[in-house]
Chains A and B, each alone.
Chain A
């Protein structure tokens, strides 16, 4: 799979450049630009965890800015890209980045079947909120349920460099959407420290991430059902002064999702099982595999055209065979408390549209357990000393 991906990864890049050069000249007369963007600034605090920062102070590190454009090269070919700046404190790497930049070819556009192909850096289209989890205005909550949308892993899961496909079908029994993608995400050292451990000095690479998903909306139904599969490999290569060994990681996720919509309210839910296998890394020749479980239910109630209430409950177990984390102190010589083995979060949020493109969001989270606080492989036991922690956040967002 790794070899297959590396060749397809290079091929995708060459395809992107070749198609741009081929298409650019003859379509200048028909080019069409679209520009959109957003800016969001907020305040947040998590006093007894390292989720936002290490000192528990109120933080303004809740800045999100994005500017995107799409260029219609021909009737069936389109170039799209988005530049983004993020500051989320400990949650993810601060700074600018290319969020996506891809070439989109509309291969089939019949009344009952559409097929789109993407090459370049594309967003993850396989989960309910994955494609725009880094865009403030599209998220139901400022902090999404961490079982599925783990922030420390966000920059790796939000998109990939490679190729993707989307196929939509109108069938007699409903509407079916199929997505497939194969790619990889570059992982800077700072990012890998947020995911694995602040103590690592070596280099982390994602070998590939292969995903498949299907969404079905049955005819005359107000509900939508989905299934997504993920398979990904990573490797860690130590440097001379490193306390860790070379390692390989495999992450595989099976996820179901569901959404039911009424005029004034909506319920959505995602649940998954995730296999994480670590080969080496802790010491040469070692192997550790565990299966994690996670699920959330999120409700929205449209109080008025301008205001919406959100309520969510999220549950995560790092090891389905040790739901209370009792093995963690035993395996770590008493260093890692059992509450690192799970996390429960109940959140209440409100959103108010001051104008049609200006929104204020506020929310409060009650957390028990620290299983979804980064780093994930070697947890931060210095700051995260409490089994319970609360978080509040408010954010003002504007878009055009």
Chain B
């Protein structure tokens, strides 16, 4: 009786551990001509909050996002930017309607995201960790 109860507890604990293991963070990618190789989370946040609008080499930053309700956008916001999606959206609306900036460009799918990163100078975006990254540069996000 005690053994079987212990077995059930172990199974439940394992299931909880498995369920809570976080998915790998989305990849952050830029156009191949962007000279930056790594960013801190704060620097990435500055880009996505549209505070930094020009790369260090003078090229305008072109920010792309997936639909705001998509699971990948939520994961990217929370793991890479350490912001909740509603905070990002509020910031972009503030920029848009006070004139101090423009919102990012929303794309429909990961495929569109990759294509635009490949073809738009200064582009930055994100993709699932196991998505192909041909002709785009993966940026390391390091604290």
Give A residues with C-beta under 8 Å from B.
34, 36, 38, 66, 68, 70, 72, 75-76, 80-82, 100, 102, 104, 106, 109-112, 114, 116, 118, 122-123, 125, 131-132, 135, 137-138, 166, 168, 170, 175, 219-220, 261-263, 266, 302, 305, 356
- In the bound assembly, the distance between CA atoms of A259 and B8 in angstroms comes to 43
CB distance from A223 to the nearest CB of B (A): 12
The CA-CA distance from A76 to B42 in the complex, in Å, is: 22
Bitwise interface map of B from 59 to 73 toward A, beta carbon under 8 Å scored 1, else 0: 110000000110000
Q: B54 near A170 (CB under 8 angstroms)?
A: no
Contacts of B84 in A (CB 8 A): 261-263
**Residue pair B60, A75 in contact (C-beta under 8 Å):** yes
**Which of the segments B10-18, B89-97, B126-134 contacts the partner chain?**
B89-97
- What are some 26 contacts across the A-B interface (CB < 8 A)? A34-B102, A36-B97, A66-B97, A75-B54, A75-B59, A81-B99, A100-B98, A100-B99, A109-B53, A109-B56, A110-B52, A111-B46, A112-B42, A123-B100, A125-B98, A131-B94, A132-B97, A132-B98, A135-B97, A138-B90, A138-B97, A168-B46, A170-B40, A175-B45, A261-B84, A266-B86
Q: Is B79 an interface position by the 8 A CB rule?
A: no
Tell me if B22 is interfacial: C-beta within 8 Å of chain A. Answer: no
Per the CB 8 Å criterion, the residue count for chain B at the interface is: 34
Q: Known interface pairs A261-B84, A261-B87. Does A112 touch B94 (Cβ–Cβ under 8 Å)?
A: no
For B24, the chain A residues whose CB sits under 8 A away are: none
Residues of chain B from 16 to 74 with CB closer than 8 A to chain A in the complex: 36, 39-40, 42-43, 45-46, 51-56, 58-60, 68-69
How far, in whole Å, are A135 and B96 apart by their CA atoms in the complex? Answer: 11
> Which chain B residues lie closer than 8 Å to A261 at the CB level?
83-84, 87
Selected from A82, A100, A138, A263, the residue in CB contact (under 8 A) with B93 is A138
Measured CA separation A123–B94 after assembly (Å):
11
Q: Do residues B100 and A111 form an inter-chain contact, with CB atoms below 8 A?
A: no
Residues of chain A within 8 A (CB-CB) of B86 are 266, 302
- Interfacial chain B residues near A112, Cβ < 8 Å: 42-43, 46
Partner of B98, one of A123, A137, A263, A305: A123
Residue on B nearest A224 in the bound complex, by CB: B87
Closest residue of chain B to A30 (Cβ to Cβ) is B60
Q: Are B94 and A138 closer than 8 Å at their CB atoms?
A: yes
Known: A111-B52, A175-B42. A116 touches B97 (CB 8 A): no
CA distance A66 to B60 in the complex (A): 27
Say whether B96 contacts A109, CB under 8 Å.
Answer: no
Q: Which B residues touch A220, using CB under 8 A? A: 82
Closest 3 CB pairs of A and B: A80-B99, A109-B54, A131-B98
* A137 vs B53: C-alpha distance when bound (angstroms): 25
Q: Is the CB of B100 within 8 A of A168?
A: no
Residues of A within 8 A of B69 (CB): 305, 356
* Complex contacts, B102 vs chain A, CB 8 Å: 34, 70
Say yes or no: B97 contacts A170, CB within 8 Å.
Answer: no
With a CB–CB cut-off of 8 A, which chain A residues contact B90?
138
In the assembly, what is the distance between CA of A109 and CA of B43, in Å? 11
- A114 lies within 8 A of B97 (CB): no
Taking a contact as CB atoms under 8 Å apart, the answer to whether B68 and A356 are in contact is yes
The residue on A at minimum CB distance from B83 is A261
Contact partners of A168 in chain B: CB under 8 A:
46, 51
Residues of chain B lying within 8 A (CB to CB) of residue A110 = 52, 56
Pairwise interchain contact A106-B54, C-beta atoms closer than 8 A: yes
The chain A residue with its CB closest to the CB of B78 is: A263
Q: Complex formed: what's the CA distance from A248 to B86 in Å? A: 44
Docked pose: A202 CA to B84 CA in angstroms: 50
Question: In the assembled complex, which residues on chain A have CB atoms less than 8 Å from the CB atom of B39?
Answer: 111
CA separation between A167 and B45, bound complex, in Å? 15
State the CA gap A396–B3 with chains docked (Å): 61
Cα separation A219 to B87 with both chains bound (whole Å): 16
Q: Given contacts A82-B97, A112-B46, A132-B93, list 14 more A-B pairs with CB under 8 A.
A: A36-B103, A68-B97, A80-B100, A106-B53, A109-B53, A110-B56, A114-B52, A122-B99, A170-B43, A175-B46, A220-B82, A263-B84, A305-B69, A356-B69
